[in-house]
Structure 1
């Protein structure tokens, strides 16, 4: 763990946060090609030629999420993160910790299970990937709600720190 406490996120931490968020958003919105190819392959059918580029894009972006998530976790463990505002009720602090734990677990589980299904044809990995993707959607929504509560209700600087691309 990092030695001295930090007062803000580094530019890299902010960039990683938003890059992973953008990649996950693209994965949610543009997954049809992968879904069509996956179904065709499972049925022993030929997938439509127009679906293959989207399927490959899904694989590449999923692997990018995995790499960026590993980098983000490494930075978190070596550099640290700013302390929480401390203005929350202990139950909300626990919810925030559990949400972050679930988020970090899922940004590894979802791409790893997808890779295991796609590259290794591991039985059940596709199911884990699909369930994990759906849970991740709700965790992301909870994360967004938490950030908005921090900003508008508790008037903390948590959201501003993650929006500020400054050197720290």
Structure 2
């Protein structure tokens, strides 16, 4: 872990945050091709030709999330992150820490379980992938709500820090 707290997120940390968020959003919205191919393969049927490119895109983007998340976690451990505002109730601080931990865990578990399902043909891993994806969706919504509360209710700069693409 970094020795002393940093004043702000680095440009790379901000870029990684939003890149991972964008990739996950694409994965949520464009997963039909993968579902169709997976279902066909599980039934011993041939998948539609038009679904294969979307399935491969899903695999590639999932592996990209995993790679970027690894980089992001390494940066968090070596560079650190800005301290919390200290304005929130301890229960809210615990909720934020728990939510962050769970999101980090799921941005690893979801792609790993998806890769295990796809490459090793493990239906159980596919179930973990789908359940993890759904839990991740709700945690991301909670994360967004927390950022908005920080910004509009507590009047902290937490949201501005993650939007400050021009900082050093």
- Give the whole-Å Cα distance in 1 for the aligned partners of 2:95 and 2:166: 28
- Give the whole-Å Cα distance in 2 for the aligned partners of 1:163 and 1:131: 30
Equivalent position of 1:146 in the other structure: 146
Q: Deviations over 1:29-53 (max 9, x none)?
A: 0000000000000000000000000
TM-score with structure 1 setting the length: 0.99
Please, which runs of 5 or more residues in structure 2 have no aligned partner?
none
Count of paired positions: 168
Equivalent position of 2:30 in the other structure: 30
CA RMSD between the two structures: 0.7
Query: Which one is further off, 45-54 or 114-123?
Result: 114-123
- Displacement of 1:141 after TM fit? 0.3
Equivalent position of 1:82 in the other structure: 82
Displaced runs of 4 or more, over 2 A: none
Once the two structures are superposed, the pairs formed by residues 61-80 of structure 1 within 5 Å of their partners are 61-80=61-80
Q: Is the 8 A contact 1:99 1:139 kept in 2?
A: yes
- Displacement of 1:87 after TM fit? 0.4
Please, which runs of 5 or more residues in structure 1 have no aligned partner?
none
- Displacement of 1:97 after TM fit? 0.2
Q: Is the 8 A contact 1:9 1:161 kept in 2?
A: yes
